[in-house]
Structure 1
């Protein structure tokens, strides 16, 4: 846009200058010719004043002095054919002036200024002042060159001013485009700084409002999905336990498969929300873990499960959102209640780690298949023991999204231990 505006201003300025300077240049040339003719007429008249009073020698001396001082050839045609001063042919214009008429005549090489001197004894004398092309154009080229330089300078100034104005318009528009690209890439913290014309400022304010609205909608979506997952996991765990306690094996398998399908649907909602929310987030991991453990402690008390909670005294910041960390803790505690017998104890520990936070969830159950090695349990849908593997997949994705990792180990009591290392914000 800057280039097009500069070209437009250059073209417009050029047309205006051409329309102004061409007539002005012609006027300058006409004025130069008129000034030269006026000067030559005055010189010829000054010589003509000496024609009747001086002899031929004195007249010749006067003509030579005037010619030398002015640079114009001065010639006096006396009656009887005598020529005094600069040699010159007797042209038809001179013959016409000899009849008593002063005039100016154009020749092939210049301009003749003829002054008739009447009342002489022998007839009429004619004083001729000759102006060449250089005399008629004296000073015109310099003026034209100055006008050309002035025109080019005006065009350059116009282009510079247009470029500054275009920059004042395109810079905020470029900023808006940059902010929109950042928003499209998932950086919902990007905001435009309104600037430029009022219309561009309105666009910037509208873009900021849109970005804020998008952030609010995504936050509401995350909170809704997290709330739904919190509300459903405890009933799902209870329903799974009820299904496993049925006396009819076929009915237990059938109902268990339905519970698995519902758990996959809930986990899929959580995963989709986390995938759509990629902006940088952080939370107080100690507060989030404490709140989720309190939530699950009701079910633990009903099943007679001893519970151990080890949290730091102060806040501990992790590079994940509170909703993501809540979903991770719910998934890990849900696995404890789903895959360990009633009465099996579990422990939740949270501590600082180099570059982040370390979360441990350990139980006294049967442990992972294969001795607790990090193999199939981390593969989505292939964890074994009748599990879908979605819980560990949610925990792994949460850890990796923060720049951390997920480790599987054996607890001191022989059960399973999941270690989630969360990166710092």
Structure 2
């Protein structure tokens, strides 16, 4: 923008200068020519009265003292003053009896006829080309220098003006980038034209509003932990009262998982936007633990579970809680959107280049690609489960794909990158 404003001012200044300097330069040349011709004409007019009143000797003496070469063509054919052949202009002036000026090869010729008792004499002088343009070149150089100085002055003013416009815009851009990096304390200094000051104020107001909304969101998430504390405590008491130790352990484990999930959500909300080191986990251990948990529910609903897990650890760049939440979301979709008795499978394999590939498939009716959009679902759900899984995959540098299985059911593939 700064460069464009400078070029615009330079172009405008040049056009204005051309509009004034070109006519002025032509006028200077015309004035110089008129001045030279006027000086020569004055000399000729001073000689004219002497032609009819003085004799040849006096006239010759007068012609020798003039500043310009003047020739007097007498009626008897003699030429007094500067020797020069009789020209067509001289003959025309003697014939017509009128004085005039004509441009020739050597310059501008001035002829004035004088009627005497012996006949018509003609007074003639020639203004050379050099005299017609004397001082013009110097004047043109002065005008060119003045024009260049004005252009440079215009460029300097344009650069200063552009700087006053660009600097506040650059600051606004820097503040917006800081806000995008979650530096919500960044504020813009109102500077520049009124429009830019208004934009700076609006940006500061937006940053303050974002801070208020985030603070309200964090407060709401913190309230969530207190609201869930009582039902979780009641759930643990119910688990302890169960007679079957296996059932009690399973319910207690579910309560612990809920508490961990809520704690993770609260921690994420409190540190949102902060730069935290990414931790990894062993995908094999996490997937095995969550599959074991869901296998109990699968047995209660007559679902067959097919699992293929590697014997060796598979490190991935995803925290254990995030990977567990992603797998829980995918398996929760299977239980929520497929009828009882529908088989599903969980497969974990090594990813070329490091990491792991987690695949969850089922023999249900499948779902549309629109389920990948956050909040979109065709089954009456919130549509957030797939988004949780997608965020976990992308946070590690991987991706999520939704495919159709061989039996027509859904097949979700999570590519998880390995630790750096």
Q: Does 1:266 align with 2:262?
A: yes
Write out per-residue CA displacement over residues 84-111 of structure 1, whole angstroms, 9 at most, x where no aligned residue. 2222221100111223221112111211
Q: Does 1:107 align with 2:104?
A: yes
Pairwise CA distance, 1:204: 0.9
Cα distance between partner residues in 1 of 2:320 and 2:27 = 91
Assess if the C-alpha contact under 8 Å between 2:71 and 2:84 holds in 1. Answer: yes
What's 1:148 paired with? 144
Cα distance between partner residues in 1 of 2:89 and 2:134 = 24
Write out per-residue CA displacement over residues 96-134 of structure 1, whole angstroms, 9 at most, x where no aligned residue. 12232211121112111112121242x122111210111
Q: Does 1:171 align with 2:167?
A: yes
SS of the residue corresponding to residue 66 of structure 1 reads coil
Pairwise CA distance, 1:380: 4.8
Cα distance between partner residues in 1 of 2:229 and 2:69 = 118
The correspondence for 2:87, drawn from 86, 91, 101, is 91
Pairwise CA distance, 1:243: 2.7
Assess if the C-alpha contact under 8 Å between 2:107 and 2:127 holds in 1. Answer: yes
Cα distance between partner residues in 2 of 1:57 and 1:170 = 83
Pairwise CA distance, 1:242: 5.4
Assess if the C-alpha contact under 8 Å between 1:75 and 1:127 holds in 2. Answer: yes
What's 1:60 paired with? 60
What TM-score results when the alignment is normalised by the length of structure 2? 0.61
Write out per-residue CA displacement over residues 364-423 of structure 1, whole angstroms, 9 at most, x where no aligned residue. xxxxxxxxxxxxxxx956xxxxxxxxxxxxxxxxxxxxxxxxxxxxxxxxxxxxxxxxxx
What's 2:247 paired with? 251
Judging changes above 3 Å, is the alpha-carbon distance between structure 1 residues 244 and 73 closer, same or farther for their aligned structure 2 residues? farther
SS of the residue corresponding to residue 66 of structure 2 reads helix
What's 1:43 paired with? 43
Assess if the C-alpha contact under 8 Å between 1:75 and 1:85 holds in 2. Answer: yes
Alignment of 1:384-403 (within 5 A): none
Q: How many residues are treated as equivalent by the alignment?
A: 278
Q: Does 1:81 align with 2:61?
A: no
Cα distance between partner residues in 1 of 2:93 and 2:39 = 19
Cα distance between partner residues in 1 of 2:320 and 2:9 = 65
What's 2:2 paired with? 2
Assess if the C-alpha contact under 8 Å between 2:107 and 2:128 holds in 1. Answer: yes
What's 1:406 paired with? none
Judging changes above 3 Å, is the alpha-carbon distance between structure 1 residues 174 and 153 closer, same or farther for their aligned structure 2 residues? same
Assess if the C-alpha contact under 8 Å between 2:181 and 2:273 holds in 1. Answer: no
Judging changes above 3 Å, is the alpha-carbon distance between structure 1 residues 244 and 61 closer, same or farther for their aligned structure 2 residues? farther
Alignment of 1:325-340 (within 5 A): none
SS of the residue corresponding to residue 200 of structure 2 reads helix
SS of the residue corresponding to residue 92 of structure 2 reads helix
Pairwise CA distance, 1:172: 1.1
Pairwise CA distance, 1:13: 1.7
Alignment of 1:167-316 (within 5 A): 167-233=163-229, 236=232, 239-240=235-236, 243-244=239-240, 246-278=242-274
Cα distance between partner residues in 1 of 2:26 and 2:263 = 87
Assess if the C-alpha contact under 8 Å between 1:218 and 1:277 holds in 2. Answer: no
Cα distance between partner residues in 2 of 1:238 and 1:55 = 146
Q: Does 1:22 align with 2:17?
A: no
Pairwise CA distance, 1:31: 2.2
Moved more, 271-280 or 182-191: 271-280
What's 1:31 paired with? 31
Assess if the C-alpha contact under 8 Å between 2:109 and 2:127 holds in 1. Answer: yes
Stretches of structure 2 lacking an aligned partner (at least 5 in a row):
277-318, 322-420
Pairwise CA distance, 1:170: 1.4
Write out per-residue CA displacement over residues 65-86 of structure 1, whole angstroms, 9 at most, x where no aligned residue. 213xxxx322121222211222
Assess if the C-alpha contact under 8 Å between 1:192 and 1:205 holds in 2. Answer: yes
Cα distance between partner residues in 1 of 2:175 and 2:111 = 81
Alignment of 1:356-375 (within 5 A): none
Moved more, 254-263 or 242-251: 242-251
Pairwise CA distance, 1:209: 0.8
Cα distance between partner residues in 1 of 2:241 and 2:70 = 137
Assess if the C-alpha contact under 8 Å between 1:41 and 1:115 holds in 2. Answer: no
Pairwise CA distance, 1:26: 1.8
Moved more, 56-65 or 123-132: 56-65
Task: Say what the alpha-carbon RMSD is for the aligned residues.
Answer: 2.3
